[in-house]
Amino acid sequence: MKEKILELLKQHADYVSGQDICNRLGVSRTAVWKNIKALKEEGYRIDSVNNRGYKLLAEPDVIDEMRIREYLHTKWLGSTILYEPEMDSTNIQAKRLGEHDAVNGTVVVTECQTAGRGRRGKTWVSPAGNCYFSILLRPEVLVDRASVITLVSAMALAKAIKQVAALDTMIKWPNDVIANGKKLCGILTESSTDLEYINYAVVGIGINANQTDFPEEIKDMASSIRLETGKEINRAELLGTFLNIFETYYETFLETEDLTKLSEEYNRLLVNRGREVKIIEKETERILTAVGIDDKGGLIVEDCNGQRETIISGEVSVRGLYGYV
């Protein structure tokens, strides 16, 4: 009921009478009043005037299920959305759900994480104002294909940011979405496997959306959409748009179980492409030229003699010659 009343208020720039809402939705005046009260408690600014009705003045900056569904147009992804204002980690919660038969495409969302993690166990700082969510997937693919989902996620993020914020971004292999040489997003894919196949995969994503201040140690390599555009981003719209795009890309991936149909688009976004990069492996460093990715998501590099090899994500670290990119 709240969702329907909210939709009515959004459709009108002026006041909507309580009686008009009753007639349209077939409910009592008491039911309308209770739901308006509930919306106000959730942070919606609604003006109430005798003999005129109700007018929506402002919406809260939250990314709960109701707000996300305003922008969601998927077939199956996000059929279940679980939202809590604060949790330990969306990935941890999604993995718990994965062990208890939660449906494919379940999305877990929060405003703040107390135990967020990045790659290689690094702590992911999770201040308010950003987007933190995880997607539970049950792909019927081989274990070694799980890492490809991470690259698919990065592509969808780059496209969603362009669509919602009009901000051009690139991808630093394998999955860092960057703008003007600074990182905007983090992606961590974890999976539960059974011999050769995946029981479930969890894609955890953190997007620096409206953050305006970063710790001293990372401010030279991290930024936010707000800092890059000068405008506050609608986080619910960004998240809903990402899910719409990701569903399409993910289904394309499942058709071939690799990046055959997506590698060309990914390579257009690859910031390292055609540039010299530093390959850091254990205690050794090599300078090679990035050529692009192969259909399995590996980074193809070339030495000064034209000899090529493929770098696998997780085995090495790739950096620009003079910094992060």
157-171 pLDDT tens trace: 999 999 999 999 999
**∠ CA 90-218-152, rounded to 5°:** 45
Cis-peptide, bond into residue 127, ω within 30° of zero? no
pLDDT at 81: 98
Q: What is the mean pLDDT of residues 202-207?
A: 96
Over residues 242-276, the pLDDT tens digits come to 999 999 999 999 999 999 999 999 999 999 899 99
Over residues 37-57, the pLDDT tens digits come to 988 887 788 999 998 999 999
pLDDT at 323: 63
pLDDT at 316: 65
Q: pTM for the whole thing?
A: 0.85
Q: What is the mean pLDDT of residues 149-159?
A: 97
> Residues in the chain, how many?
325
Backbone angles phi, psi at 228, to 5 degrees: -80, -25
Q: What is the mean pLDDT of residues 132-154?
A: 94
Q: How far apart are CA 318 and CA 277, in angstroms?
A: 7
Crossing angle (nearest 10°) for helices 29-41 and 2-11 = 80
Which domains, and CATH codes, for the chain? 2-58 (1.10.10.10), 65-269 (3.30.930.10), 276-320 (2.30.30.100)
Confidence of residue 290 (pLDDT cuts 50, 70, 90): very high
